[in-house]
A and B are shown apart, each in its own frame.
Chain A
Amino acid sequence: MFDNFVVPDLLPAAPELFLAAMAAVILLADVFIKDARRTVVFALTQLTLIGCAVIQYQTMTGDITFTFSNMFVDDLMSDLLKLVLYMTVIVVLFYSRGYILDREPMAKGEFYVLALFATLGMMVMISANHFLTVYLGLELLSLSLYAMVAMNRDSVVSTEAAMKYFVLGALASGLLLYGMSMIYGATGTLEITGVGELLMTGKANKTVLVFGLVFVVAGLAFKLGVVPFHMWIPDVYHGAPTAVTLFIGSAPKLAAFAVTMRLLVTGLITLSQDWQVMLIMLSVLSMAIGNLAAIAQTNIKRMLAYSAISHMGFMLLGVTTGVVGGDARMALNAYSSAMFYVVSYVMMTAGSFGMIMLLARAGFEADNIDDFKGLNRRSPWFAGMMLIMMFSMAGIPFFIGFFAKFAVLQAVVAAGYMWLAIVAVLFSLIGAFYYLRVVKVMYFDQPADPTPLVAPMDMRVLISANGLAVALFGMFPDSLMIACGFAIMRSIAA
């Protein structure tokens, strides 16, 4: 094999290479630039991400390109997800800047470097076409996140959250690896497309495969944060500094979605009968437990954590409805709906956590629902933005969250799972209650703390843009829907 060694085609992975190089440069630069506010490091980080987006856009071909001996794939789905990823990380870092400057142990260049490495991990996950690449990306992401959660090192809750995240994350990685090794045992290949092709021939041992599948699904469920592998979500969301919660709660969902698509759809589509049943159970349980538990929360970060669980459950409905009775005609419809859901969810969740940070200031965390009391009197504009986020999450039109739910429900009904659609809407109804409660607190209650907001201008502008985007994409969702449909059509369903 090595006698005909060729240099791999680096172009499909150009953004990853650029990001890796720049992360190293920024790490070094941070050592030499003595600036308490880390302005240069921050600017370099943002420029790197913008550079990645430019490279990504310029190298986009619309074809499926494999490189690094088929370990890495560049297709439209990965292009689109990565572009959303860069945008999300850029927005997240803007939101986080003021917050971490107010908190001394976190105000280090490492925060940005870790964020870049985590982004790199997610990019590798999104483009993985090999079990080892999946694992590599996943670990790069997870290890960066563990460190970020623990960054506020004097905080007991943060440290506890980091420990918990680390132990459970390691367990989940173990499960995923174990499942992968089973599948390797049954098929003799680690390449995801290879697994898919081999399974089509029907030569693999089904028992071993299904055994491996169970572990793979469990590992994915952990990364997506769906019931019953959701235990870490509330504690980590709650314990982590809000800037890190925002990071964990938004971008990694894109990567987890991509890996789910790669492993289950590209690799194991022939086993769809088996994994769809598992996903339906995970999804119904997530919507039930996520929505019911969110009602009882008084801490808004915990509330959004449970809401994340229920949203991921809802999103999984789209993944479960691709193949109906061996007929894959609905695949494009179903998977693109799920992708649209994930992208919309990331947009809404970034804005919601952004609002929590907008209200926070030095020495004060606005992480209780009551901290939003009377926001309409303190700042009608930002109360309006939070109102948009909350109604969007609840799935009320004309906000993007409605069309996300609509698209997935449409896929579920088209697949003939009428009961599943009814269960899903009933749990959305329960979910509406706690989103409404946030609106109630902002609008119906008197402010407990009349101090005006102190957030910097760039953050105000970005939150406003974020809220308006949720509303505008809610009024004109077509372009994004078609982009998702096109990406899935040219990648997975091709």
Chain B
Amino acid sequence: MSSYPLLSLAIWIPIVAGLLVLATGSDRNAPLARWLSLVGAVVGCLITIPLWTGFDVNNGGMQFVELAPWIARFNVNYHLGVDGISMLFVILNSFITVIVVMAGWEVVRDKVAQYNAAFLIMSGLMNGIFTALDGVLFYTFFEASLIPLYLIIGVWGGPNRVYAAFKFFLYTLAGSLLFLVALIYLFVHSGGSFSILEWQQLPIPLSAQIWIFLAFLVAFAVKVPMWPVHTWLPDAHVEAPTGGSIVLAAIALKLGAYGFLRFSLPIAPDASHELANFIVALSLIAVVYIGFVALVQSDMKKLVAYSSIAHMGFVTLGFFMMSAMGIEGALVQMVSHGFVSGAMFFCIGVMYDRVHSRQIADYGGVVNTMPKFAALFMLFAMANSGLPATSGFVGEFMVILGAVKFNFWVAFAVATSMITGAAYNLWMYKRVVFGAVANDHVAELTDVNKREFLILALLAAGTLWMGLYPQPFTEVMHASVTDLLRHVAISKIQ
């Protein structure tokens, strides 16, 4: 165990770096802003590695805990800690931040400092969400992270960016305001505590649990997003710049799912059991129906956005089957989706930077002009459809295994998504990459440069590592997931 406040550093290094980058000012200093952001992101990423190397896999409780009073008036504490559920996401988030800074390197030319600063600050805030053990602290990070993403979509986004930015902000805010009321209710009900860990021990009558669960559900379901509150996501993805899409898919969606494990299941376990079938049904709709929706998309970003919703359906399904296999599978799926969807959006970004179109119809025969790119894109498209030996397979397979124990027909329905997944990914890949060179734009394409190759290689390494040897990942989660399940099995009604 390290004596440094690692979690605070993981939160505040990117934020301070972001403020420093902002101070570089106008675009005349753009190179300085870029290098400063890269240094900030890399340091922020390196600082999280001891979290994994120093992690005690046999301890299911909170580790690296920091506790200091923050707002004494309401007994709010600056209380941080990670367990096997949250630790990987802190690292994933810090890693994706490096990717995002590199992804925008030559592409973003307008207000470079603000662009990079927004991502760095958001990265710090998201680390705060994953590590906060105090309700108010969690909520402040959760809400504050909307501001940078709103600006990223609105300032550097596509033609319909204003609509997408507002929709994103207001949808998420709508969910989280009810969440705030639930937090305050718990504060009052617990006799004046905002500690999430204390709330988990708090006896709550069933009717109240159901209300709390529903309030949490609104907040997290919007963020995940679950069908039918998913409609903001395709808009946000399509309009956001590449970096924004990567962060949105790789990290922001995980916040909602993480919330289920940190809040809904342990604080309202009886309501979770009561409403589990409802969530399973919503998840199935996401997996099956949204898969078909993805199939008919003509815009590549929209297609990947819908595939994200389907994949997140796997995650919520895994959670609410209440088995270790399901939850661990869902967590693996979340990390894997961070690599794969990030990479998919980056691949689309690479093509968009050259052709300025995301329409599948504008492409064809890309393999002829961009062979290296086509090979890597292939890997990620395969991972996105759950090919064995890629990370996409491990999580989905575990969730399906869990589902077989839960209910055969649920497992059957979920397993069909392996087919639709392969269909929409490979069909898109075929139309974009294979065939004859479709038009002059494709003929003029240049293959990935060193920077782009490095980004794709890093993401590919993560994808393959998780696919071939997932044990380090599952090993970390195991103790915490077992504790969680034991806790959820005990009724809190008194």
Contacts and interface: CB of A to CB of B under 8 A. Distances in A.
Chains A and B are bound partners: yes
Contacts of A433: 166, 170
Interface string B105-146: 000000100100000000000000000000010011101101
B165 interface: yes
Contact of A428 (B136, B165, B177): B177
B154 A444 contact: yes
B453 interface: no
Contacts of A444: 154-155, 161-162, 165
A468 interface: no
B115 to A, nearest CB: 12
B161 A425 contact: no
B71 A481 contact: yes
Contacts of B185: 413, 418
Contact of A429 (B139, B143, B170): B170
Interface in A76-114: none
A403 B144 CA distance: 13
B26 to A, nearest CB: 8
Nearest to A383: B114
Contact of A409 (B71, B161, B170, B184): B184
A482 B146 CA distance: 29
Interface stretch (A12-20, A275-283, A286-294, A394-402): A394-402
Nearest to A484: B73
Nearest to B146: A396
B296 interface: no
Interface in B19-69: 25
B169 A432 contact: yes
B184 A410 contact: yes
B424 interface: no
A447 to B, nearest CB: 13
A440 B151 CA distance: 8
B166 A436 contact: yes
Contacts of B146: 396
A391 interface: yes
B173 interface: yes
Given A422-B178, A444-B154, A396 B144 contact: yes
A62 interface: no
A462 B25 CA distance: 21
B154 A421 contact: no
A485 interface: yes
B140 A421 contact: no
Q: Which of B141, B146, B181, B185 has most chain A Cβ within 10 Å? A: B181
A396 B147 contact: yes
Interface in A458-494: 477-478, 481-482, 485
Q: Secondary structure at chain B's binding surface: helix, strand, loop or mixed?
A: helix
Given A410-B74, A443-B154, A481-B73, A425 B178 contact: yes
B436 interface: no
A21 interface: no
A167 interface: no
B413 to A, nearest CB: 35
A380 interface: yes
Interface string B179-195: 01100110110000000
A485 B72 CA distance: 12
B73 A485 contact: yes
A433 B166 CA distance: 8
Contacts of B72: 478, 482
A406 B181 contact: no
Nearest to B186: A413
| Most chain A beta carbons < 10 A, residue from B114, B147, B166 | B147
B181 A421 contact: yes
Contacts of A44: none
Contacts of B74: 406-407, 410, 481
A471 B181 CA distance: 23
A403 to B, nearest CB: 8
Contacts of A407: 74
Contacts of A391: 147
Interface in A369-422: 376, 380, 387, 391, 396-398, 402-403, 406-407, 409-410, 413-414, 418, 421-422
Given A440-B165, A481-B71, A482-B72, A402 B184 contact: no
Contacts of A403: 71
B147 A478 contact: no
B493 interface: no
Contacts of B161: 444
B150 interface: yes
B412 to A, nearest CB: 40
A426 interface: yes
Contacts of A421: 181, 184
B181 A413 contact: yes
B174 interface: yes
Contacts of A477: 71, 73
A406 B144 contact: no
A192 to B, nearest CB: 28
Contacts of A485: 73
B143 A422 contact: no
A397 B181 contact: no
A479 to B, nearest CB: 9
Nearest to B161: A444
A439 B118 CA distance: 15
B70 interface: yes
Find the residue from A398, A410, A433 having the highest chain B CB count within 10 A.
Answer: A410
A407 B180 CA distance: 12
17 contacts: A376-B155, A396-B147, A398-B140, A413-B184, A413-B185, A422-B178, A425-B180, A425-B181, A429-B174, A433-B170, A436-B169, A440-B165, A440-B166, A443-B155, A444-B155, A481-B71, A481-B73
Interface of A: 376, 380, 387, 391, 396-398, 402-403, 406-407, 409-410, 413-414, 418, 421-422, 425-426, 428-429, 432-433, 436, 439-440, 443-444, 477-478, 481-482, 485
The 6 closest A-B pairs by CB, nearest first: A397-B140, A425-B177, A481-B73, A444-B154, A413-B184, A478-B71
